[in-house]
């Protein structure tokens, strides 16, 4: 995994939108995570944050403006991920 300073130096390469990732745990329960990153980067970041063996898939959704603002209020940095729901 990259160090936090590496992530900050890569800020521009992560893009400026949120990617939604659907995660399935070992017990088959679904979780929804977000990452302020491009889809391929978000998938890698989320998989690094969850337990080994879990699966993840990028969801192709367009966030409503209100939801985008809510996520922006979290002030996530590059390489951050956030579990939205289980």
Q: Cβ of 45: how many Cβ atoms within 10 Å? A: 24
Phi/psi of residue 44, nearest 5 degrees: -65, -45
Q: How many whole angstroms separate alpha carbon 67 and alpha carbon 48? A: 25
Q: How many whole angstroms separate alpha carbon 36 and alpha carbon 33? A: 10
30, 85 contact by CB (below 8 A): no
Find the domain containing 32 and state its range. Answer: 4-85
Judge if pTM exceeds 0.75.
yes
Tally of domains within the chain? 1
Structure letter (DSSP) for residue 11? G
- 37-82: pLDDT as tens digits: 999 999 999 999 999 999 999 999 998 999 999 999 999 988 899 9
């Amino acid at each position: 995994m990259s160090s936090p300073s590496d992530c900050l130096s890569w800020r521009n390469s992560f893009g400026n939108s949120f990617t939604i990732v659907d995660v399935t745990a070992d017990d088959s329960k679904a979780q929804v995570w977000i990452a302020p990153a491009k889809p391929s980067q978000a998938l890698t970041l989320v998989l690094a944050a969850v337990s080994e063996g879990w699966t993840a898939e990028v969801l192709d959704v367009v966030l409503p403006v209100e939801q985008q603002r809510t996520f922006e209020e979290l002030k996530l940095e590059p390489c951050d991920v956030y579990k939205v729901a289980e």
